[in-house]
Every structure is written in structure tokens, then in C-alpha cells.
Amino acid sequence: MASILKTALTPVKWASKQLLNRTLLRFPGGDAHDPVACAFCPEMCRFACPSTVATGNDTVTPRGMMSLLYKEKRWPGKAAAGGELWPLYGCTGCGRCTEYCIYGMPVAEKLFKARREHRWRGAQTALDTRVTEEMDSVGDLAAEWGELEVAKARRDRTLEKAGSAGVVRVREPKELHYLRSEGIEAELDWEPGLFRWDVAAQAAARERLSGKRWLVAESVWLSRRLNHAADVDHFCGVLERLGVSTVRPYHRGKDCIDTGGEGAYRYLFPEAAAVMARDFWERDRDKADGVIAFSDRAAAHLREALGAEVPVVEASRLAGLRLAEGSEE
Amino acid sequence: MPSQSDKISTNTLPTGLGEGTGWSRDRLVLQTYSHDLWPRKLLELRERGPAEPTVDLVVWPETPSQVQALVRWADTADVDLIPYGAGSGVCGATIPSGSMPRPRVMVDLKRLKRVRSLDRESMTVWAEAGIIGENLERHLNQEGLTLGHFPSSIYCSSLGGYLATRSAGQLSTKYGKIEDMVLALETVLPNGELVITGRAPRSAMGPDWTQLLLGSEGTLGVFTAACLQVHPLPEHREFLGFGTADVNQAMAFTRTLMQQGIRPAVMRIYDKIETSLTIPSERLGTGFSGGCAIVTVFEGTQAMAAVEASEARRIADSMEVSYLGPTLGTHWWEHRYDVSYKQQLILSHDRLMLDTFEIAATWDRLSHVYEAVKGVNLGFGVMLAHFSHFYHTGANIYFTLASHSGLKASTVEHYDQVWESILGAAMEAGATLSHHHGVGVQKSAWLPKEKGAFIQIYEKVKRGFDPQNRFNPGKMGL
């Protein structure tokens, strides 16, 4: 009798589960990337957020920031009561929260997009000042705003080149990310993950770096924007073949920690960015004598935060070592 | 008319706490800190939209001496202080009580986040209260160690929060609860003094001050750090699944295991409804014929884990409990935090409520408590139950309630009615009304009912520690 009952109830149970999955156990509208998913989440991603860990401020946790989008969508203007939604700028863009979110919520992409709609006067001032100071960074910083003339011009030029091909081919990983976040199909013009050596300069690089242990500041921008095709292990391998002693950071790979030097965050929240850089160094300082960073801005930021006592070198300035197409020599 | 926030003279704050980074009264910051994860507050947000902040200032001290300075400043500035960890509490413990006439200052401890030292001989670690549980565990893992404390909120909760609420983790049956792990607390008392509560694994030098402070939910002091015992990472894990016809048979089996001295790292009984709704049938295997699923995990050295697992199987055989193989256990292990993400699925829908209720009782009452709480009318809803922390003398039951508010005017009103019913049912049946979530606002009115005369004594203790009643006032039934 029991087994007959069990057999009879099986389709009922199946139907009930199907009904639940289609109604209650899905977000309204079926979009798992709607900000409502963050607003009521216990926030399992917060331990991974560099902004949260550096500031301790719950307003700039992934959930804190995404909740603002939910509130603003449902009750426009009520959360800030006429003020500015400045926490939307509290994200470094590292994407580590997305790595840990069961729904893969693209927090950085959503916040960066929302910034175009919710301007923060304080941010504008900070970035405008820096724009004049670091002209070579204009393009990257401008890309985050989406409306500054240089970014628009670059985008327009890129789209012109694409023409009717449909897919835009670009050289810079950041540009790839930016275009994709705009919904434009794009791909890298080269095979990511390969490093090209300038053979003639290897000796100079070896001389510069030998005798010290170098902590590799794996860049969240590098590994994520290259879809993890290149990471700290790859880069350390390249340097080690050169005879350079490298230290893999405590936080690496999926847990790669933002040092706060990339993008606008460093200018908008300088104290927090400095804490990120110092926290990064503190964790592994016993193992290393200096730091290798992946970009000019990250290197400059680390030098400023760590002081003259900690040598910092920038990877692509290492005598010809740079990301490029082709194979290793 | 100046707000409470305006009354606070921030230029008298201790040195080192600057605007923006050390303190803030920005509206969005105050709103964030005006709630924790108490589902009632989430329902209020969903129904009524963003509320006015109930906090007047947030401060972020970075060192114990800054905390001390803040506590002394609170006296001169005449403000109340509420210690805050990661805001993951589900009972409203950090939500200012309505009866606070003074400005309310939230003291966020998350910048005290260092692991200070590790003692491999004593197997202890000194860690600061603001560290997030997962970050502490990862730090220890890098050293080949574990704290053994795995609340399902580990990714979003702080050590200070564990201490303040007497938290328990999923592997507590082997590693103990937080009170079993703490050797000493570093605490700033309401008079500004920094004290350390212990120096040895056990002491008969008077009452145990560590145990008095644990679970005080910020009413007696501010935790700045703790000395905790740690363990080597386990060499081996064995995953075993069992099936029983009903919860009574499951309780008898698990009681026998505990009373025979077997200590699984994980032991969980899922009642019939929770089994059928949350465990994929392919994980239960062909040996499962309906009823309750039991997950057990044994870990430790290879030999110990194997012996305990073998003994558990022998006892299962003798009690006609079906052995289902390792798949159920491995599935649970791989998805043990996933359930925490499910709450937003339910809460994203208007008119639905979701909450959890965790109690404990002695074995002789456990079945009655289970039936009493399950018998509460939720309206159009469902109540799941699992048993997840076990003792020689009893166990915990963890209920999950999801319900539609039907024709009631407000889901918050429905929520309050459901809670009144389940708390009453559990108390009547002889359970304690919280095993590990704590009291907060939610159960504050029930604390005197459960603790009786001890509340008056606690009032005197509170006055002894905090004569001005500045520390999280209006909580703990007072």
C-alpha cells in the first residue's frame, strides 16, 4: 500500500516542485540579475569585497550599493531624499563579488552603468582634476564615465573600424570590457595569456630584479578582463624563467585582491585605496622585498601608499616585457 | 528643530576619527546601519519603502584604544553606543530600541580586523572582533588550521557578532559552539577600561566572566578581540547518509550516537517535508523509501573518522536505520551555504514572508516541541524543520517558515502574528526560544517569560557594568 501511495504521489510531487520553481523560486520577472536579488540577500559576497574590507562601511558592500539601485527603481528619490547616490561609486570594479555570487550578479557592470544616470558631483571634481594631471590615463578613466568626449570619440572610432563586420576587435582588455558593458560585441585582437619577450632587454631586467623577492600584485583588471586566461601563476612562470624570484600573493586567482590602484576608485576614495594597498603588502611582507604591479597606475598607487622603502616596479616597463600577440621568445 | 544627529558634537570625537572615513552622518550611511538582516525590517522596506534612519552617527574605530576613547567620549557627549559587527543578525539586536532618548551612535568594529597572533603550542589564535568569519578561517587554513566554526553566515558575519550572540556553526557537534572555543575576551567596559577575561583553559577563580559577557549582545561592553582555540585541518572526512521512517526514529538514532560518545562533525535530520522539498531524490539513492534523511560527516585523523563512521553504521544497523551511502553527505557539503541565497527568492515577492526559528530542548521534550511548533497555523504557508546541533542531553531544531499574508492588510502584521504563535507554542512545550540566533528585538519581550527572576538580576548586573545605560539600551528584556 505504501509503495502504491508513493508511486501515485510522485507525479504530484513533481508537479508541485515544477510550480514552485516557476513561481516562488524565481525572481519576479525571471531576472536573477535584477537588483532585488541583492536587496534581500544575506550578502555572502561581502567578505570578498575590497571596498568593504578596507572601509568597514556597510554602505559600500555589494549589497549596500545594489540595494540603492533597487530602492531607487522602486521609490525614486526616497532613499537619498534629494541627495546624491554616492555609494554607487564605492565599487572598484574588481568583480570578486560576482565570483562568489550564486547568481553571478554582475555588480560592477550594473554599478558602472548606473553611475551614468546618477552623477556624483564630488566624483566629477576628483576625476576632472586627475584628468588634467594624467593625460595618458584619460581614455581609461573616461571609459568609466561613458560620456566624456575622449571615450565617446574612441568608441566612435572603434565602431567605425568595425563597420559592417559586427564584432569590434580591440587591443586593450579594458576597452573590451567597456564595449561589452555597453552591449557592443567585441573581442581582443590577439590571443590573451601570451607574453612576448624583448630578448635583448632580458639581461637588463634580470639585473634590475635579481637579488630580491618580488610580490606579484595580480591585477583584478588583468585576470578578469582576460577571462582568466592570464593570471599570477602564468606571470610568475614567465618571470621565474628569467631567473627572477617571485612571491605569489596570499590572495590570488579567484581571490585576487584589488590594491585599489586601478580606475577611478583611487581618486574618489584615496584613504580606502591606500588601505587596500597596505593590506595587500602587509599580508605578505615577510616573504617579499618589493612589488611588481601590472599597470602604471597600480604601480604609482602602490608607491604612494607603501612609501619609498618598498620598491615597486611596473611589469610592462620591465625592459620590453609586455602583453602582445604572438608567442614567447 | 535640530535632529538627534545634529546634537552630536563630532569635533569632540577622539583623535584619528576623521569625517567620512572615521565617522559619518550621511543619510545613506545612517539608513544602512538602521537595520540588520532581521526579516521584519526587510518586509517593512518592501512594503513601505526606505525609512527614516534610526541611527544618528556611525563611527569606525581602528584600535582598541580608539574604542576606549569613544566609550569615554560617549559619557561626555551624552550619547548611546551600539556595537556593530557585520549586521548579519536576524533578530534586530543592533536596531536601536524605540526608547532611546539620547543620540544613537553605531560603533562599527570592522576596522579591527587583524589576526594578531597564533600560538601553535597552545593551539590558540588572537583575532580582532571585526574580522569576517570567512577571512579568519582562510587565514587559519593558510597555516594548516581551522577554527571549526561554520555558521551559514560565515561569509557575511564577524567574530564580534559570534561572541555577542553565542553563535553556533554547522560543525558544532564536534568543534563546539563559540562559547566552547573562547579562552578569553578582550573587552572595553562601559567605564572605558580594557579588560581580558581569562588566561587559562579553565579557572575556578570565581565566576566565569567570559561566559557572562558572551551573548550579552552589546549591553555590557564592546568586544575588541578574542583568544580562540584552533584545530589542525582534518586529515580525512567520511560522508554518510541515513534514512528513517519519521523524525522520532531519527531522534532515537541520533540520541544514541551522541550518548554513546560518537561526535560527528555534522549531523542533520531533515523532517519529511524538508527532505522532500530540498533534497534532490537522486541524492537520496534507491535505498531511501520516503521519510527523513540524515546527513552525517565525520572528520579528523584517518583512523578516528573511520572508527566513528564505522560505529555509526553499526548502530544504524542495530536500529533498522537505512544507510544511504555517501552521496547525500557529499551533496550537502558541496551546497551547504547555498540555502542562504534562497531567502531573496522568497522575499522578492510581495505578500510573502520568510524566516527561521531555532530552539533547543532536552531529548525528553524534543518530539513534543517539534509537534507543537509544526502544529502552528501559518495560513497559506509551509514549515520545514531540520535538527542540526546535537548534545548528550538534547538537540536543536531549526524551523524555516514561508507564508503568504493572504487577506491581511500587511505582511508585517502577518509576520508578527506568526511569530507570536510559534514563540508561544515553543515556550509552552518546554524549549528555549533561541539556540544560537540570539534575542535582539524579536524575542526581547519573551526573555523575561523564559528567564523569570533572572531578568531582575540581569538588570542589576547591567547597572553594575553600565550605570548610565548607554550600551545598546532597551535590549535583553530590560
Domains assigned to chain B = 4-110 (3.30.43.10), 115-232 (3.30.465.10), 236-336 (3.30.70.3450), 340-442 (3.30.300.330)
Residues (pLDDT < 50) of chain B are none
pLDDT of residue A248: 84
Per-residue pLDDT at A150: 45
Can you tell me the distance from the alpha carbon of B88 to that of B155, in angstroms, rounded to the nearest whole number?
10
Q: What is the pLDDT of residue A138?
A: 35
- pLDDT average, residue stretch A112-129: 78
Q: What are the CA-CA distances from residue B270 to residues A24, A207, A211, B108, B168 (Å)?
A: 21, 64, 59, 37, 18
Domains and CATH numbers, chain A: 29-117 (no CATH), 121-188 (no CATH), 195-323 (3.40.50.1860)
In sequence order, what are the residues at sequence separation of 6 or more whose Cβ sits closer than 8 angstroms to the Cβ of residue A165?
none
State residue A149's pLDDT score.
43
The Cα-based distances of B233 to A284, B112, B121, B175 in angstroms read 22, 26, 15, 12
- Whether the pLDDT of residue A140 is over 60: the answer is no
Residue in A103, A17, A18, A3 with CA at minimum distance from that of residue A63: A103
A:28-87 residues touching chain B, CB 8 A cutoff: 28, 34, 36-48, 53, 55-59, 64, 68, 71, 74-75, 78-81, 83, 85-87
| A-interface mutation test, from B5, B19, B28, B275, most A Cβ less than 10 A away | B28
A43·B338 Cβ contact <8 A: no
For residue A247, CA distances in Å to A220, A244, A307, A310, B446 come to 17, 10, 20, 15, 55
Q: What band does A178 get if pLDDT is binned at 50, 70 and 90? A: low
Q: How many CB atoms lie within 10 A of CB B173?
A: 27
Q: What is the CA radius of gyration of chain B?
A: 23
Radius of gyration of chain A (CA): 23
Residues 22-81 of B with CB under 8 A from A: 24, 26-29, 31-33, 37, 42, 45-46, 49-50, 58, 60
Asked if A102 is an interface residue toward chain B (Cβ–Cβ < 8 A), one would say yes
**Which residues are B126's β-sheet partners?**
B117, B227
pLDDT of residue B112: 96
Half-sphere exposure (Cβ direction) of B73: Cα atoms closer than 13 Å: 21
Nearest CA-CA distance, residue B430 and chain A, Å: 31
Q: Which of B116, B13, B21, B122 is nearest to B72 (CA)?
A: B13
User: Alpha-carbon distance A59 to A88, whole Å?
Assistant: 9
Answer left, alpha or beta for residue A322, where phi above 0 means left and psi between -120 and 50 means alpha.
beta
Cell 559577557 belongs to which residue? B213
> Residues with Cβ < 8 Å from A84, sequence gap 6 or more?
A118, A119, A120, A121, A122
As given in the structure block, the three cell numbers for residue B407 are 487577506
Closest CA of chain B from A174, distance in Å: 29
DSSP B235-281: SEEEEEEEEESSHHHHHHHHHHHHHTT---SEEEEE-HHHHHHHS-H
User: Under an 8 A CB cutoff, do B337 and A40 touch?
Assistant: no
Where does B381-453 have alpha helices with state H?
411-429, 447-451
pLDDT of res. A229: 57
Residue B108 forms contact with A (CB below 8 Å): yes
Instruction: Considering only residues B462 and A171, tell me which one the structure prediction assigns the higher pLDDT.
Output: B462
Residue among B5, B21, B131 with most chain A CBs within 10 A, to mutate: B21
A138-145 and A121-133 are packed helices; what angle lies between their axes, rounded to 10 degrees?
160
Percentage of residues of chain A with pLDDT beyond 70: 64
Q: Is the Cβ pair B142, A40 closer than 8 Å?
A: no
pLDDT exceeds 90 at position A16: no
**Residue A145's pLDDT is what?**
43
Is A100 in the B-facing interface, judged by CB distances under 8 Å? Answer: yes
pLDDT at A233: 73
- Residue (of B416, B422, B414) closest to B351 by Cα position: B414
A189-248: per-residue pLDDT in tens? 655 444 555 566 667 777 788 899 999 887 766 666 555 556 677 677 777 877 889 998
pLDDT at A329: 32
